[in-house]
Structure 1
């Protein structure tokens, strides 16, 4: 494991419903009083700063790192020479959370839940992954991991995640 903070990754093909499900899971975890962090992995080169804003202007001028700070939020924009490893992000920035939810990272050795929709084909991205802990989808793929329907009550999904990751909360 990367840190003492429990981590679970939602994986699956594009348009399988990962983000929609993660949003529901985050809301339920917050209702239970947990501090939740998320990391979204993408293969695309994205610019996360807003064009025209002062922080963007700082970056455009050549700053290698820009931090935006307000009374209750902060954001870091940093140029990297190489891909930042998941372990480094977790240990550097996310050590004080109750759970970390990832979207993607299908090749990392961490617990994964595959979101599987038959309309996207019958092939799963992590079918043979030893770290696959469950499948959430529109059809049970008949595997040796728990299956929950995509339309299941999100509380059941969160109960499963918390049980698997051994997260105890008294709310």
Structure 2
């Protein structure tokens, strides 16, 4: 077989996804085939556009998805939020690996939001990790994204993760004394702001804080926390950055190109459109 097509069963339209013939638009190579990342993005969007249906079918979940590419971004989001039947076609030779990767994907803690019928249903808080080496530009990228999203009318929250111990409250302050006495959280409110102090437990799940603190946000941007589960955008300095990282959905580098992932240059506003298509459409389609 020389070509593979993406077919939208609703419209009947077909799009050339992969071919054995190289082409500038087909920048992802696997085996003897060259894949078009823009068609993968279209396929991910088509899946997320149909979350109101009772049945979703994806043929197939293959080697690229096992590597976090292809239709994997949509699959991960669907498994966390979708309430209908989701059928994945998987080759017998890949079944064990696929099962191991996906078996816990639908156990992410969810946050409440109002459903269209006035009832309450649960969908995940949309979030993206910005990961990379120290001094790679993570904070600058988050600042750029926060500015871009807020200008478009989105409500954005940020979470900074550190693996080191840091004093978060002034020792001996009233709120610190309340925390030490057992209050969790302890809240300090002034006319110009509110500080909330939580005591975290070893190994505590990130999703607890996403659901408790950011349920009113359209998007949470997380700096670091690279080992936590969730979609990640990598600020790439060299190829070793990709090792031991899961859930990469895009990279940012000086070339704006990567053979296996959607890539952007620093300061490229198209990354905002990409996050809207691949992450925020989940909440928009569930409201």
Q: Give the TM-score range, shorter chain.
A: 0.7 to 0.9
Task: Give the superposition deviation at 1:129.
Answer: 4.0
Match of 1:165 in 2: 279
1:20 corresponds to 2:140? yes
- TM-score, scaled to structure 1: 0.79
* C-alpha contact 1:117 1:139 (8 A) present in aligned 2: no
Structure 1 unaligned blocks of 5 or more: none
**Match for residue 132 of structure 1 among 248, 251, 259:** 248
Mapping 1:3-18, distance limit 5 Å: 3=110, 4=123, 5-18=125-138
1:107 corresponds to 2:227? yes
Match of 2:187 in 1: 67
Q: Classify 1:54/1:112 alpha carbon distance in 2 versus 1 (closer, same or farther; 3 Å).
A: same
The count of residues paired between Structure 1 and Structure 2 equals 160
- TM-score, scaled to structure 2: 0.50
Task: Give the superposition deviation at 1:143.
Answer: 3.3
Q: How far apart, in 1, do the equivalents of 2:214 and 2:261 lie?
A: 28
Q: How far apart, in 2, do the equivalents of 1:108 and 1:81 lie?
A: 15
| Coordinate RMSD, CA, aligned | 2.5
**Match for residue 149 of structure 2 among 7, 25, 29:** 29
Q: Which has the higher contact order (CA 8 A, sep 6+)?
A: 1
* C-alpha contact 2:237 2:253 (8 A) present in aligned 1: yes
Structure 2 unaligned blocks of 5 or more: 1-79, 81-107, 111-122
Mapping 1:35-46, distance limit 5 Å: 35-46=155-166
Higher mean C-alpha deviation, range 97-106 or range 62-71: 62-71
Task: Give the superposition deviation at 1:54.
Answer: 4.4
* C-alpha contact 1:41 1:105 (8 A) present in aligned 2: yes
1:84 corresponds to 2:198? no
The structure carrying a bigger helix percent of its residues is 2
